[in-house]
A = this chain, B = another copy of it.
Amino acid sequence: MAWHRKHLLDTESLTKDEILTILDTAKAFKAVGERAIKKVPALRGKTVINLFVEPSTRTRISFELAAQRLTADIINFSAEISSLKKGETLKDTTRNLEALNADIIIIRHSAAGAPHFLARFLNASVVNAGDGAHEHPTQALLDAFTIREKKGRIAGLNVTILGDILYSRVARSNIWALTKLGARVTLCGPPTLVPRVFEQMGCRVSHRVEEAIEDADIINLLRIQHERQRKTMFPSLGEYSSLFGLNQARLARTKPDVLIMHPGPINRGVEIDSDIADCERSVILQQVTNGLAVRMAVLFLVNGGKGPQEVG
């Protein structure tokens, strides 16, 4: 189906068909990234703003490269050096950016709902690059892209997301996207980080890792953000690792063709053993490559692209 949305705010409000249009468009753009000249003129003369109120080198660079490969002009705007520090409201800051004829504003913000708030009054397209603990839709889309690419389908697969679910926008966006696409999602981690309330989103909740991964086709490991987590959530990194970390013993009891995924940056030795991160079941780096293609697709579509048939 032809894309018609102006913004990409979340995966919750996307239909299955819309998700598939993004994935198909991303597939066309992935081929561009493999050419000698990795550029298409799709967004030539368009202005994209990377508004990162919460810092993130990794996602910022992925969007920046995506815009460059679409031949857009891109401006990086980080909060540390901005008028936001002088007391300007987010609304005023973004209306100022729009007044510079910005076509697309990509926003990363620590407050859940910030992109939705902007979309209510901006004429520019808004792309959510992560809002608080709410959503990170392009991460979920690149995860879905990677699963489909490796497994040939998503419907009917068992996807286990392992780690800090409670505070994870990646988990939320994944749950919405994967369940729409027909996967069965299991969430696993300590009870403090994986409360039963997630069952209301259509997931299975498990607090025993062996049980959660034994039938998994995909294990998506979330980063334990030890720089953020409160001590009350779990006793120590060592204890987390011994109870929930993916190690060889646990991997040995999974399906032989299970895919290991992780949004990065990985903590080797915490949520994942170092050798597993580098093993052939791990598609962690392919996720990064696919992220670029997905973000090219998203920028292309919110700017008026209709679908993969338009990718040059």
Contacts and interface: CB of A to CB of B under 8 A. Distances in A.
A87 B35 contact: no
A77 B61 contact: yes
A13 interface: no
A88 B265 contact: yes
B57 A100 contact: no
Interface residues of A, number: 51
A152 to B, nearest CB: 22
Given A45-B35, A92-B266, A73 B82 contact: no
A268 B65 CA distance: 36
Copies, count:
3
Given A58-B96, A88-B266, 4 more contacts: A38-B45, A68-B75, A95-B285, A96-B264
A227 to B, nearest CB: 7
A285 B227 contact: no
A38 B101 contact: yes
Contacts of A33: 101
Interface of A: 33-39, 44-47, 55, 57-58, 61-62, 64-65, 68-69, 73, 75, 77-78, 81-83, 86-89, 92-93, 95-101, 227, 264-268, 285-286, 288-289, 292
Contacts of A73: 38-39, 65, 68-69
